[in-house]
Each structure stands twice: as structure tokens, then as C-alpha cells.
Structure 1
Amino acid sequence: MEADETVVDGRNRRWEKHRARRRTELVDATLRAIRRHGASVGMDDIAAVAGTSKTVFYRHFTDRAGLYDAVAERVNSNIIGDVAGAVGNVDEVVAFAEGPDTDAAWSPRQLLASAIDAYLRLVEDDPEVYRFIVNAPLVPLSERTDTGDAASGVSQSVGRQVGVLITTALQATGKDTTPGATWGHAVVGMVRAAADEWLREGAESSGTSRETLREHLTKLIWGGLSATWPDVDRRPAKEVLE
């Protein structure tokens, strides 16, 4: 590589890092604006919180849909991180299927409950951000996905993660793994629908706590999934959730 090409390449890398850092800062500012002004926050308020202009946002995200996608990706990563922390240790699933003398710390039901809890925590702890992701008031209808569901990407990602858990359990117990992916998305769809209604009614102030809603959903979902693991009641459950 010629010396001048090396210089240009180095400048390009520094510019890309600068753009990535700036995008991160603008997403951070957007989240602060959502929490301060609510899910229906407009671009003027977002720019004011960021201490810059709307032009700068459009330069980095092209349009409002691009900014929404960046915020959704951040929230998606946070949820996936929490869900992955709950269900990502597939060794626990395999160990539980191997017999009562294994050292699996979490029962399958507890893994399911923890995954549900990870989703509900976002609704409870960051309701305006959740409303922003689900309702996407910033994005014109003409710029949304074909289904009109702006939050479908987040739900699909979480559904895939839960599907991995279920598929692993089916495989560990010698069962047909074909339904795993479908069941993963079905579980997330159920949790999301219940979470949306819970938030509409006021979340914790509705009289139903997150813990209660988690248990209601776990009971309903587990009733269908318990056949995935044989003899799930063969030993006492270990309390791992707060």
C-alpha cells in the first residue's frame, strides 16, 4: 500500500469511529428526551436536549425513521442482554434434562419466568421508552414496516432468543425440535400483549405487580411447555428470583 493510501485509510477509520461515537451520543440524548418529555417527544425537543440541531440528527440518521431504528436497536440490545442472561446458559437446560442428580441451579420454569421478567422490567422501569418503541409516534405511518408494527424487530429478536431455549430443551429430551422457533415467538407475543395491557392500565398502580403478572404468564405458558421437560417436579425449586 502506498504511503498516501495508508494516510487516507487511517483518516477514514478515525472518521468512522467519530461517526459511531457521535451516533451513540445522539441516541443517548434521544433516550433522555423521551424520559423527560414522554414517548410523543418531537424532534425539536430531542435536538434541544442534545444541544444541537435537527439537521445534525438527519445528517447521522437520514430521517426520523432512521433515528427510531437506532433507538430501537439500543433497546433491543438491552432486552436481549437481559433475556440472554436469563436463558442464555443452555447448559442449565441440558443438565436439568439429564436427571435429578445434576447440579443445574435453575429449573426450566425458573428460566422461563426470568425471561418474562426481563421483558416486564423494561415496561415497569422505563415506560416512556417502551411506549416510544411500541407506538413509534416519531415515525410516520408511511415509513413503518409492512405490518405497521414498528416494534416488530425487537419482538422478533427476543422471540428468537426464547426459541433457542425451547429448541435446546426439546433436543436435550429427545423430542422433535421443529416447534421450538414458533413457540419462542408465541411466548413473546403473549408476554408483549399482556405487558401492553398492563402498562395501559397503569402498570404497578393498576393493582397488579410485575411479580404477579410474571407468575400469571409463567403459569399459563408453562402449562403448555412443561411437557418439554420430563418430571419437572422431581426436586424442589430453587428460589432465584427476587
Structure 2
Amino acid sequence: MDGRSARWEAHREERRRTLISASRKAVHRLGADASMEDIAAAAGTSKSVFYRYFSDKVGLQQAVAEVVIERMQDKILQAAKTAATPRQGLLNMVSAYLEMAETSPAVYDFVTRSPGGMAGGHGVPAVHGALGHFFDEVVAMLARPMSVHLGAADSTLLNYWPTAAVGLVRTAGERWLSTPASPTKPDHIRMAGQITSWLLRGIDADIGVGPAGTDA
């Protein structure tokens, strides 16, 4: 690649980053249902420019997701590193995830929608592209502290735990995120504590049920 081609590629990549940033801000302000035309207008350019860089709305969604998810992953990793115990690490990771999602629910909704346009909502979340890679990474991050926390427990069965944990965190988190604000709605710190308790102790601790379904 000659100098002219390198400069053009650098310019194109910089322009792409600018459009992604503008798109994220537009979705934050306009909502997850914003059209390509709405996003382009908010970015001060035309829809044709967006199609040139991202092909279609799914391509734009994927590009925004890669940036948002990279930031979430960095924050979650940092949160885990500051913990003194595996349990605290898990709590910090869940709290960081909820806090980042709460910062802009519209952007979170936009990047977690399936290519067909349906959000994960209260059903089974769609996982694709950058989002799928992100949750694969979260599964791996959860596996490390839990292997320390549980020690010599059955490692074969525990291989399933991180995947199940991510499903619980995500579905519970998205249900919490979509719940209207009210005096009874927990903040992200309290919600993170509750989810962590469910992950480590199950619901028995909350309803007073002991081993094998007996009253505690």
C-alpha cells in the first residue's frame, strides 16, 4: 500500500469512527427505534453516506455494538481486578454491567437487538456478532473467579455454571432495565447484590427454604 492509499484508509477509518460516535449519541437521544434516516440527520449527513460505510442498519448496529461492548468489557474487567475475593469480583462485574446498561438504555437496546429487529426483552436474548463474542468473554471471566471460589467442587458440572450465570445476569438485568422508575425499583448496586446472591446461594436464601426443599 503506497502513502496515498494509506492516507485514504486512515481518513476512511476516522470518518467511520466519527459516524459511529454520532450514531451512538443519536440513538441515546432518539431511542433504539431510530431509523437510518433519523440517525443520519442527527449526525449532520445523509443516509447514503451511512449506507456507504455500513451497508445497512444491521451493519451500523454491529459497528456501534463493537464500540459499546469494548467499553463495557474494559469496565467489567477493571471492576473484577479491584476485588479482594472471588465473590466481590462477581458482584463488581455484575454491578459494572448493570451500570453501563443503565447509562443509556436506548443504546443498550439498540446493540442487543437481533438482526431481525427484535430486542431480547423478557424472552430469550438474541446473541450475535460482537455481542455474542462479548458474552463469550464474560462467560470466561466468570469461570475464573468461580473456579477459585468453589475449589475442589465437581469441575465437570461447574463448566455449565458460567453460561447459566450470564443468562441469569442478562435476563434479570434487562428486565430490571425495562422496569419503570419507582420508589420500589432497586438501584444498580442493590440489584447487582441481589443477582450475585441468586448466583451463589440461589433463591432458597430469600424464601427460607433449606436443603432438599425443607424449611430452613
Smaller-chain TM-score range? 0.7 to 0.9
| Residue 105 of structure 2 corresponds to residue 127 of structure 1 | yes
Cα separation, partners in 2 of 1:38 and 1:169, compared to 1, 3 Å: closer
Which of 57, 64, 74 is the matching residue for 1:81? Answer: 74
TM-score, length-scaled by structure 2: 0.78
Runs of 4+ in 1 over 3 A off after TM superposition: 139-142, 150-153, 171-182, 203-206
Aligned to 1:183: 161
Deviation at 1:202, TM superposition (A): 1.8
**Alignment-derived partner of residue 190 in structure 2:** 212
TM-score of the aligned structures, taking structure 1 as reference length: 0.70
Q: More relative contact order in 1 or in 2 (CA 8 Å, sep 6+)? A: 1
Q: Quote how far apart the aligned CAs of 1:183 are.
A: 2.4
CA RMSD of aligned residues (A): 2.9
Structure 2 residue 131 is the aligned partner of structure 1 residue 149: no
The aligned runs of 1:1-16 (5 Å cut-off) are 9-16=2-9
Name the SS of the counterpart of 1:193 in structure 2. helix
* Structure 2: segments with no counterpart, 5+ residues: 119-123, 203-216
1-side partners of 2:161 and 2:181: how far apart?
Answer: 26
Q: Distance in 2 between matches of 1:168 and 1:212?
A: 21
* Paired residue type of 1:161: V
Please give the residue correspondences for 1:50-61 in structure 2 after superposition, counting only pairs within 5 Å: 50-61=43-54
Contact kept in structure 2, 1:83 and 1:119, CA below 8 Å = yes
Which one of the candidate residues 7, 10, 21 is aligned to 2:14?
Answer: 21
Alpha-carbon distance in structure 1 between the residues aligned to 2:131 and 2:32 = 17
How far off is 1:204 after superposition? 6.4
Specify the structure having the higher radius of gyration (Cα).
Answer: 1
Q: Partner of 1:215: helix, strand, or coil?
A: helix
Q: Which blocks of at least 5 consecutive residues in structure 1 are unaligned? A: 1-7, 93-104, 225-242
Distance 1:148 1:196 in 2: 9
**Aligned match of 2:144:** 167
C-alpha distance in structure 2 between counterparts of 1:27 and 1:222, whole Å: 38
Q: Deviation of residue 199 (structure 1)?
A: 1.9
- Among all aligned residue pairs of Structure 1 and Structure 2, give the percentage whose two residues are the same amino acid: 35
**In structure 2, do the counterparts of structure 1 residues 211 and 70 end up closer, same or farther at CA, with 3 Å as the change threshold?**
same
Alignment check: 8 A CA contact 1:72 1:151 kept:
no
Query: Of 42, 45, 49, which residue of structure 2 is paired with 1:49?
Result: 42
